[in-house]
Amino acid sequence: MFNKKFGKLSVLLMGILILTMFLAACGDKDKTSDSDKTTTESTQGADAAKTDETKAAEPKIVTDAMGHQVTIPANPQKVLGSYLEDHLVALGVKPVAQWSVSNGIQDYLQASGLEGVPTLGWDMPVEQVVGLAPDLIIIGLESAVEKGLYDQYNKIAPTYVLGAEVNNNWRAAFTKIGELLNKSDETAKDLAAYDAKASEAKDKLKAAIGEQSAAVLWLVGGKFYIVDETRSSGEVLYKDLGMAQPNIVKELPADQKANWNAISAEKLAELDADHIFLINSDKEAADSVLNQNTWKNLKAVKAGHLYELAPSSSWLYSGYIANQQIIDDALKALVKA
């Protein structure tokens, strides 16, 4: 009787044991499958990320403003962008050379990344460009590559021309250069940061001076020039900061406007600006010109609202870095602590 019961019990225990082992095996299989799935997904994710990086690092063929098919290197190390240095430096790119003229360079950019960078003549002499051995050349205007110059530059390195429409709009130029250098995310963040800074400054200026107007004058070669409202410091003051334009700026003939427009002594006498920012690039002429009655009788001068800027300042230029410095200067002059 005992043996019979023991036999039945043994069979039952054996069945439970087998069932337990089966369930355990199934559980391990499921865990293994989940683990394998996780590992596979991680591997696939890493491979996808690596693929994206590979794509971003590959050379690309683009069409410039003049219709040239340009192969942009995957990761250019020696970029030449004469008079486009503001955009390059803002993106963390140290150019192989920097634009210069006989009387100077872009001083305002030196502390931002151009200090010690070799200079290049403003007209980009081919022999100088050859010596620099760039691996990518970015040109601003079509006029800079006329008379066969494009072909000569392009033999040295791939050469991309932004074109006047893009080049004359600092935001568009900054964005395009970011695209060429695989730095579009950086340009987007920088533009958003700039807009936020300008908006905050605009509110401060509104509270400080209301609807008062400002003029930006440049004294050079014994003559005065006034900035156009769409370029350089004019764009910053009138568009980004919302300051009122003085009469002379409003009256500039649309078909004759330049970045900086010469004004006669007679026209200067009519200037009704509440504030004047003066970029003094002619210290010799300033001694006599700024002591004439025409100048002394200007509303802003009589009110003591004259702010002199060194020619090394950013007010003659345009770009992410230049414009921020212009905003800082304007706030320092017009918003009293």
57 within 8 A of 75, measured Cβ to Cβ:
yes
For the question of whether the overall pTM of this predicted structure is more than 0.85, the answer is no
User: What's the pLDDT at 33?
Assistant: 43
Closest CA to 318 of 259, 228, 232: 232
What's residue 337's pLDDT? 63
For the chain, list residues with pLDDT below 50: 1-43, 45-55
What are the start and end residues of each CATH 3.40.50.1980 domain in the chain? 60-184, 205-334
pLDDT value of position 56: 52
**Can you say whether the dihedral through the CA atoms of 318, 324, 325, 329 is positive or negative?**
positive
Reading the block at residue 319, the tokens are 């770009």
In this structure, the dihedral spanned by the alpha carbons of residues 171, 173, 177 and 180, taken in order and rounded to 10 degrees, is: 110
Pairing of strands 136-139, 159-161: parallel
Which of 296, 312, 259 shows the shortest CA–CA distance to 107? 312
Q: Which of 287, 249, 275, 263 is nearest to 329 (CA)?
A: 275
Judge contact between 265 and 294, C-beta under 8 A: yes
Q: What is the pLDDT of residue 103?
A: 79
Beta strands 306-309; 275-280: pairing state: parallel
Q: Longest Cα pair distance anywhere in the chain, in angstroms?
A: 135
**CA-CA distance, 29 to 38, in Å (whole number)?**
14
| Residue 254, pLDDT score | 82
Per DSSP, which regions of the chain are E strands?
60-63, 69-72, 79-80, 98-101, 104-105, 119-121, 136-139, 159-161, 214-220, 223-227, 260-263, 275-280, 306-309
pLDDT at 42: 46
Distances (CA, A) of 111 to 92, 116, 226: 13, 10, 28
Report domain 60-184's class: alpha beta
Contact at 8 Å (CB) between 224 and 263?
Answer: yes
- The CATH code belonging to domain 205-334 is 3.40.50.1980
